[in-house]
Amino acid sequence: MRTKKEAKTAKILFWCISPLLFFAFMRLFYLIFRYVFGTLVIQLIGVEHKSLIILIATLTSTGFTVAVIVYLYRQYKTHILGEK
């Protein structure tokens, strides 16, 4: 069982590191989805629409990144902090 001071320090540590995690996952998912959607758009339409590919890849990667951060926080809260 952690003391309140340790739990508070652990929460502060998570929220200090989470922006770095956000940008890392955002870049990773953006690269993956830009490749996937770029290939899909070229195959389906036959022409490369860069603005459409960038828009779809950005929106999808943002959604996936938020979902991963929420999942990581839930796991962190359960397993590290011991809260339910």
Given a cut of 70, is residue 18 above it in pLDDT? yes
If you search the block for the tokens 């929220």, which residue do you land on? Answer: 15
Q: How large is the average pLDDT for residues 30-43?
A: 90
> How high is the pLDDT of residue 74?
94
Q: What is the pTM of this model?
A: 0.82
CA dist 56 and 45 (Å) reads 15
The percent of residues in the chain predicted with pLDDT above 70, rounded, is 99
Q: With bands split at pLDDT 50, 70 and 90, how would you rate the model's confidence at 1?
A: low
The structure tokens listed for 74 are 């839930």
CA dist 69 and 49 (Å) reads 30
**Helices (runs of H) and strands (runs of E) counted in the chain:** 2, 0
Helix axes 4-45, 50-75, angle to 10 degrees: 150
Given a cut of 80, is residue 9 above it in pLDDT? yes
